[in-house]
Amino acid sequence: MSEAKVHLDRAHGLKLLREMMRIRAFEARCAELYQAEKIRGFLHLYDGQEAVAVGIMQALEPRDAVIATYREHGQALARGIAMRPLMAEMLGKLEGTCRGRGGSMHIFDRATRFYGGNAIVGGGLPLSLGVALADAMQKRDAVTACFFGEGAADEGEFHESLNLASLWRLPVLFVCENNRYSMGTPLGVAEAEPEIWRKAAGYRMGGEAVDGMDVVAVEVAARRAVARIRQGGGPHLLECLTYRFRAHSMFDAQLYRTKEEVASWRERDPIVRLQRWLEQAGHLHGDDLAVLGAEVAAEVEDAVAFAEAGTLEPVEELERFVTMDEVPS
């Protein structure tokens, strides 16, 4: 484990562990609901990448903003969106974060400054510039964390966004969740320079890579980058090297990787790694894991019950909230 973990205390360690367990349990239940056709459309799960969302969010304050990807359930939970309305949104219910209109790929929550969920690959990158520019113009001491996958580095808006962010010295933390396959193409086949963090140098911004399967390593790197941004150091690119244990989406046959490869990565499971370190450091006591597991399971089942008991939006209201003057406050 990273040297930084030597200084990890029990309270913070359990908080990180609980947050990752919540994401894993929530998504496992979503997979079941999808197979039961209670969640419709597309579903992209975060299983294996929990350390990235949880680690990054430790460095952010409520005044900061988050731009997410279409694999954003973990990011939403780690940001503080309540599980009940999040699950209701997954089931398309009126009680969801977006009245059931967004679904899995378009989670949005104004209260936590969580601005999507974006279904377009790389689509959140230019949006992050707008949010960061607005904050800068209004003299808010806020950072915008923009999550994207390594597949977005193939897109023109990746380069355009890094260029403008650097030129305007915008307070953006670009977080690349490099899970190595985009949809199904190995990174080395698609990128002449497969180390995404090195692309930052071309735009005169800071960049670094971190073990995205180590939640504390991610937190340490994120805190360092966010502090630099707040001090006026301009944008920063953080590449988190991670791996998704499940398929790209529920429709993916995963013909591009072997079961043996997935199994080898599961040995680096971020939840298990943190559990082992907490045990070795003497921070796990008695039935801590059993209690955490029971609490998380109960929270998930409560969210499922809430969502299933929810209501569908009346057909008569489907044309509401299309124009700006109808958007609820």
**What is the domain range of residue 150?**
3-310
Instruction: Please check whether residue 212 is in contact with residue 178, taking contact to mean a CB–CB distance below 8 angstroms.
Output: yes
In the numeric block, which tokens belong to residue 274? 């943190």
**Domains contained in the chain, number:** 1
CA distances from 166 to 64, 160, 270, 284, 309 (A): 19, 10, 32, 44, 48
Instruction: Please check whether residue 196 is in contact with residue 158, taking contact to mean a CB–CB distance below 8 angstroms.
Output: no
Task: Write the DSSP assignment of 186-202 as a string of letters.
Answer: -HHHH-SS--GGGGGGG
Q: Looking at the domain assignment, is residue 321 inside a domain?
A: no
Instruction: Please tell me which residue, 64 or 254, carries the higher pLDDT value.
Output: 64
| Residue 7: per-residue pLDDT | 65
Give the three-state DSSP class for 237. strand
Q: Is the dihedral of CA 30, 86, 184, 179 positive or negative?
A: negative
Q: Looking at the domain assignment, is residue 328 inside a domain?
A: no
State the chain's mean pLDDT as an integer.
Answer: 92
User: What is the reported pTM?
Assistant: 0.92
- pLDDT, one tens digit per residue, over 236-289 is 999 999 999 887 887 777 878 888 988 988 999 999 999 999 999 999 998 999
Instruction: Please tell me which residue, 188 or 99, carries the higher pLDDT value.
Output: 99
Q: Looking at the domain assignment, is residue 74 inside a domain?
A: yes
Q: Is the dihedral of CA 140, 112, 313, 118 positive or negative?
A: positive
Q: Looking at the domain assignment, is residue 325 inside a domain?
A: no
Please return the burial class of 327, using the count of CB atoms within 10 Å of its CB with bins 0-12, 13-18 and 19+: exposed
Give the three-state DSSP class for 155. coil
Q: Looking at the domain assignment, is residue 322 inside a domain?
A: no
The pLDDT confidence band at residue 4, using thresholds 50, 70 and 90, is very low
Cα–Cα distance between 21 and 77 in angstroms, integer?
11
Task: Give the HSE-up count for residue 325: Cα atoms under 13 Å, Cβ half-sphere.
Answer: 0
Cα–Cα distance between 93 and 25 in angstroms, integer?
21
Phi, psi of 201 (to 5 degrees): -60, -30
| Residues 6 or more apart in contact with residue 227 via CB below 8 angstroms | none
| Residue 36: per-residue pLDDT | 95
| Residue 256: per-residue pLDDT | 80
Instruction: Please check whether residue 18 is in contact with residue 296, taking contact to mean a CB–CB distance below 8 angstroms.
Output: yes
In the numeric block, which tokens belong to residue 321? 């909230």
Instruction: Please check whether residue 143 is in contact with residue 60, taking contact to mean a CB–CB distance below 8 angstroms.
Output: yes
The CATH number of whichever domain residue 304 belongs to comes to 3.40.50.970
pLDDT of 5 strictly over 50? no
pLDDT of 3 strictly over 60? no
Q: What value does the mean pLDDT take over residues 119-142?
A: 95
Question: Strand 65-67 relative to strand 144-149: parallel, antiparallel, unpaired?
Answer: parallel
Task: Write the DSSP assignment of 39-69 as a string of letters.
Answer: S-S-----TT-HHHHHHHHTT--TTSEEE--
Q: Looking at the domain assignment, is residue 317 inside a domain?
A: no
- pLDDT, one tens digit per residue, over 75-124 is 999 999 999 999 999 999 999 999 999 999 999 999 999 998 888 999 99
| Residue 326: per-residue pLDDT | 63
| Residue 117: per-residue pLDDT | 85
Residue 87: closest CA among 210, 77, 263: 77
| Residue 185: per-residue pLDDT | 81
